[in-house]
Structure 1
């Protein structure tokens, strides 16, 4: 699953990079603003509503959020959640005979009779565990000729897993030590939420206290101590704890919670109807970007004004399983979704074919899939990020958009530092830095990631399909790609990792197929010309 935070090194340990508060970052709703009138590189949604859509009729479109969970009761989402009117809530019966009991707002494919999966392993961990059993007594000397390729892949994956686990444990120890030392300094200062001035006035008695003082003075120029502690220390501690104890742990396997046969990719009917699950932060944030209520005068403004959000839970805190991804796509398609947002991805795939078949099924049913490109700052033309386009037919690709993340300024920083890119694999870029949206508890928060950029585009797709319902999924994609605001200058990003990473400058057009940032105003103007038009070949 794509992470929406970046990590950097302080005091020799990797921790979450500082996330400035909204007041220090962007305007609220910046993703919907206009570059010319607002001096912010949004997608001109508000301009489109004001100049193109005022007084026009639309039809309701279902947009599925295939993610880690959506809080259906959120104050800014409850009115726009999809409701399966064919089901009678809570009667324990499959009233609509679709195979899913009491699926009122969607379905949870990683839930079981009593609870739901929260933490999961990475796909890499699962592959090593599988092949470790297969090659238990195999060596370079006795490996069968037919197994040599698989055995070499297993050894490389095992080495990668061991390296990642060692790094996670090292970083966990480091950030734990940093937290202990910082807590001691704060106790000496005697304030629960010290300021930069408090740290300046502090007199360190050890070298580590002096280093903490310098770091905190710098960090508190960007935000409060509370934000730094929550967003960096606690988040970093949680992140590396998850990696060491769950994601990279060969002995951890939560799948018994679900009660299915995880190796049976043809199994369809399992899970439960809890669309929030144990951690709905990510999916709730995504849902708000797409369609948070534009009429209630509270919270935020989603991109689309007449869509219903269907929650389909298929991604845990770890890597999603291909079986669940495929079934989530099929569920959304079969229950009326016309757009599916998938803000997730991974470096390895257990069974890419089963996902490909689901993608083809969605295309055959005229459903548009929008996917996040990933947050590793890598070229996914040459490095794997699953799902991907690489072995699919043109018809399927015509109904699938992959999205990179952009920032608010039309300058060399336009590419979000974390965003994956690819001249052949990424279609468009969209706002994905400091996006303020809904989170559980009827609250709001700013997050970064291609996970945030993808729902901007999914919202735009839902908007187009709502006002121009006769357009096909392939036409909507073509419109979105053709109507981007072209970027005719270079952007900079770090090539590689760490402080020695090389900074490169490339034309923005090298980063994606369209060479631009999506634009709702341009897209809707273009959509108006598409009546009866077929997609160009």
Structure 2
């Protein structure tokens, strides 16, 4: 019961954060009293009468709703491909890739759920290491064996926690259903819960929790199907798919998974079974600004290329590598990567793809992750650090998430950080954007902060097309606005006050207005 109460309290914080000014991420700190990136100020003061060129942005994600009312006008359409003729007209190896490509689909359909990378590595290595002991492991293999044991212990703890939390949520829902049956209404109000006489301590606790929730938002159905329903679904997916060693959906794709150099597999379904995340990301980048509906993206002359490579679970390195190559080969100048994981199966394949994209003047923008960790001590793959010790990917920006208030809460509590690993912060709390079916919703995460920066990078390249990817990165980092106050992070369960410069390279939050002013000075 305690775990579900904690989960609901955390969810409520996100709900309360959602009561922000509309479009807050694009507003200005001085004029609007929220720590946005001053996009609207830039459009008012710097961009009138300036001409823009269209910039192609690749969104590597779980899928994009290409028919969304606020996105359909900016979705990329491959000019060299004829829709629906079943032919690879442009001979790029991908048949009918009109809006992009899906590397986690195949003739049998689309992958929705997948394992965590940790699970896939354990499944791969179990036949070799499970039977070995302290006395039987060959000396040459001891480091790998010890690492395997460490990973297995991590897995067992995480799986146990997921099971227990799921049981707690299921127990909560069971008691809640009993209380609602006792009330005798399908949609009870807060007054109904207050008047209800609990039959046992469990019902007393349920009424207390639900009453507290309904005081903040009186919509019971929203609580039941939203907060509670989403929590239940999340941990069911963890148990049945993400942590399930027996589950492997790769046969759906039908590729030779052992061959990381294989390029031509997948299908052209860029929406897939769940396009919520990728659609939200796309709207932040470039939702149409002047159509009097929906929201306003950061960039005003983009085309979104949808590249599906991220399931509900951890993305696979082979797919990420091919997604990056596809984007680079088909003209993307900025790539958004709002995904990450704690382990890597084949980092070399991703590194090679990153090097390839960088050689083609592509800027890669990556979300730092949502575990509240110091990336100086932990890793969130993919990373710009090449495994072969050949250096770093220069045209790469790592993005942490910030909130709307110019105080110690500026860094989102969930955001990863790192003095040399995270470049900048950008708005990532209660970001209102597009969701499938021409709907809209608030989401939180570094997944939302990265497309803010992607949109800014695209905007710079629209109005200053001669600038290179490295110059655009330099502009974004040099123009970041640096707060003078401390911010709060949590280390080992305890809050600590630090300067933003202690936890990221620039010590700042990106700013469109300052970036465009600086871009105008580059030759």
TM-score range relative to shorter protein: over 0.9
CA shift, 1:226, in A, is 2.6
The reply to whether residue 365 of structure 1 matches residue 357 of structure 2 is no
Could you tell me which residue of structure 2 aligns to residue 298 of structure 1? Answer: 293
In structure 2, the residue corresponding to 1:215 is in which secondary structure? helix
The reply to whether residue 443 of structure 1 matches residue 433 of structure 2 is no
Q: Distance in 2 between matches of 1:22 and 1:50?
A: 31
**1:194–1:509: structure 2 CA closer, same or farther, 3 Å change rule?**
farther
In structure 2, the residue corresponding to 1:269 is in which secondary structure? coil
Could you tell me which residue of structure 1 aligns to residue 91 of structure 2? Answer: 97
Could you tell me which residue of structure 1 aligns to residue 41 of structure 2? Answer: 47
Could you tell me which residue of structure 2 aligns to residue 158 of structure 1? Answer: 152
Map 1:282-297 to 2 at 5 A: 282-297=277-292
CA shift, 1:33, in A, is 0.5
CA shift, 1:166, in A, is 1.1
CA shift, 1:205, in A, is 2.0
Could you tell me which residue of structure 2 aligns to residue 514 of structure 1? Answer: 506
CA shift, 1:34, in A, is 0.5
In structure 1, the residue corresponding to 2:259 is in which secondary structure? coil
Please tell me whether the aligned partners of residues 425 and 510 of structure 2 are also in contact (alpha carbons under 8 angstroms). Answer: yes
Q: Distance in 2 between matches of 1:187 and 1:54?
A: 60
Deviates more, 1:509-518 or 1:369-378: 509-518
1:32-51 deviation digits (Å, cap 9, x = unpaired) = 00010000111000000010
For normalisation by structure 1, the TM-score amounts to: 0.94
**1:191–1:258: structure 2 CA closer, same or farther, 3 Å change rule?**
same
1:17-75 deviation digits (Å, cap 9, x = unpaired) = 22655896211211000010000111000000010001210000000000000010111
Please tell me whether the aligned partners of residues 333 and 365 of structure 1 are also in contact (alpha carbons under 8 angstroms). Answer: yes
**1:514–1:23: structure 2 CA closer, same or farther, 3 Å change rule?**
closer
Could you tell me which residue of structure 2 aligns to residue 535 of structure 1? Answer: none
Q: What is the aligned counterpart of 2:377 among 378, 382, 392?
A: 382
**1:180–1:36: structure 2 CA closer, same or farther, 3 Å change rule?**
same
1:394-418 deviation digits (Å, cap 9, x = unpaired) = 9853200000000000011111010
CA shift, 1:16, in A, is 6.3
CA shift, 1:473, in A, is 0.2
Please tell me whether the aligned partners of residues 360 and 396 of structure 1 are also in contact (alpha carbons under 8 angstroms). Answer: no
Aligned-residue RMSD, C-alpha: 1.7
Q: Distance in 2 between matches of 1:22 and 1:494?
A: 21
Q: Distance in 1 between matches of 2:37 and 2:365?
A: 16
**1:255–1:493: structure 2 CA closer, same or farther, 3 Å change rule?**
same
Please tell me whether the aligned partners of residues 322 and 349 of structure 1 are also in contact (alpha carbons under 8 angstroms). Answer: yes
Could you tell me which residue of structure 1 aligns to residue 324 of structure 2? Answer: 329
Could you tell me which residue of structure 2 aligns to residue 534 of structure 1? Answer: none
Could you tell me which residue of structure 1 aligns to residue 224 of structure 2? Answer: 229
Could you tell me which residue of structure 1 aligns to residue 76 of structure 2? Answer: 82
Q: Distance in 2 between matches of 1:28 and 1:189?
A: 37
**1:205–1:136: structure 2 CA closer, same or farther, 3 Å change rule?**
closer
In structure 2, the residue corresponding to 1:438 is in which secondary structure? strand
CA shift, 1:221, in A, is 2.5
The reply to whether residue 184 of structure 1 matches residue 182 of structure 2 is no
Could you tell me which residue of structure 2 aligns to residue 529 of structure 1? Answer: 521
In structure 2, the residue corresponding to 1:340 is in which secondary structure? strand
Could you tell me which residue of structure 2 aligns to residue 433 of structure 1? Answer: 429
Please tell me whether the aligned partners of residues 401 and 428 of structure 2 are also in contact (alpha carbons under 8 angstroms). Answer: yes
CA shift, 1:314, in A, is 0.5
Could you tell me which residue of structure 2 aligns to residue 194 of structure 1? Answer: 188
Deviates more, 1:80-89 or 1:139-148: 139-148
Please tell me whether the aligned partners of residues 80 and 309 of structure 1 are also in contact (alpha carbons under 8 angstroms). Answer: yes
Could you tell me which residue of structure 1 aligns to residue 416 of structure 2? Answer: 420
Q: Distance in 2 between matches of 1:450 and 1:313?
A: 19
Please tell me whether the aligned partners of residues 22 and 28 of structure 1 are also in contact (alpha carbons under 8 angstroms). Answer: no
Q: Distance in 2 between matches of 1:23 and 1:263?
A: 44
Please tell me whether the aligned partners of residues 24 and 222 of structure 1 are also in contact (alpha carbons under 8 angstroms). Answer: no
For normalisation by structure 2, the TM-score amounts to: 0.96
Q: What is the aligned counterpart of 1:145 among 139, 158, 162?
A: 139
Please tell me whether the aligned partners of residues 19 and 231 of structure 1 are also in contact (alpha carbons under 8 angstroms). Answer: no
The runs of 5 or more residues in structure 2 that have no matched partner are none
Please tell me whether the aligned partners of residues 15 and 175 of structure 1 are also in contact (alpha carbons under 8 angstroms). Answer: no
Please tell me whether the aligned partners of residues 55 and 461 of structure 2 are also in contact (alpha carbons under 8 angstroms). Answer: yes
The reply to whether residue 261 of structure 1 matches residue 261 of structure 2 is no
